[in-house]
Structure formats: C-alpha cells, structure tokens
Amino acid sequence: PPWKAQDLWIKISYPFFHADKIRTPTLFMGGERDFNVPIAGGEQMYQALKSRGIDTQLVVYPGQFHGITTPSYVRDRMERRLAWYNKYLKPAGEPPS
C-alpha cells in the first residue's frame, strides 16, 4: 500500500521525476474536464520535456471529459495523431510527406 512505501509510491506515481531520461518526441492530448486521467499530468510532462528541448506538443480540448465527443475535436485529434505519426514514425530513410 502507498502509505507503507511513500517514497516508492511517489517515484512511480509521478513520471515527470523521470523526464531527464526521456528523449522521445511526445504528443499529449486530453480533455480539460477529464477526471479519469487529469490533464495536469500531461501539462507537467509537457513542461518538463519542453524545458529539456524535447519536441513535444500539448493539446487540451475545452469542456471535454475522458472521451472526446465533440465532432470537431474528434477530427482534430485524429488529424494531429496522423501528422505526428507521419513526422516521427516513418521508416528510416523515407522522406516526410
């Protein structure tokens, strides 16, 4: 239980404590009102990675919960994912489109 190993709990619960080891470009997206996975965690990681010069983006969808449901936001999220994947997940030697 967390109360019996507080130091360990903090270490594994707060990934931004490990931001110094991350070199992977990272895209954070979430709903402003997401209570399942609060956007605060993404904001913290975004700031940590940005401060280290890691290519990162943060997109917060206003008024949205865990499931993004506004059609324009659903489309935006898909387009951003595809653009991110196109930029960072191309096979070696393949030029960006």
What is the predicted pLDDT for the residue at 14? Answer: 72
Per the structure, how many domains does the chain have?
A: 1
CB 68 within 8 A of CB 61: yes
The pLDDT, as a whole number, for residue 1 is 66
Give the type of residue at 46. Answer: Y
> What is the span of the domain harbouring residue 49?
25-88
- pLDDT for the residue 96: 63
Residue pointed to by tokens 């954070």: 28
pLDDT tens digits, residue range 1-56? 667 888 877 776 677 778 899 999 999 999 999 999 999 999 999 999 999 999 99
Phi, psi of 59 (to 5 degrees): -125, 120
Q: Kindly state whether residue 3 falls inside one of the protein's structural domains.
A: no
Instruction: Measure Cα distances from 66 to 12, 31, 75, 78, 93 in Å.
Output: 22, 6, 16, 15, 37
8 Å CB contact between 48 and 57: no
pLDDT in tens, 51-75: 999 999 999 999 999 999 999 999 9
pTM more than 0.75: yes
Q: Is residue 42 part of a domain?
A: yes
Residue 77 maps to a domain: yes
Q: What is the mean pLDDT of residues 71-94?
A: 92
Assigned domain for 82 exists: yes
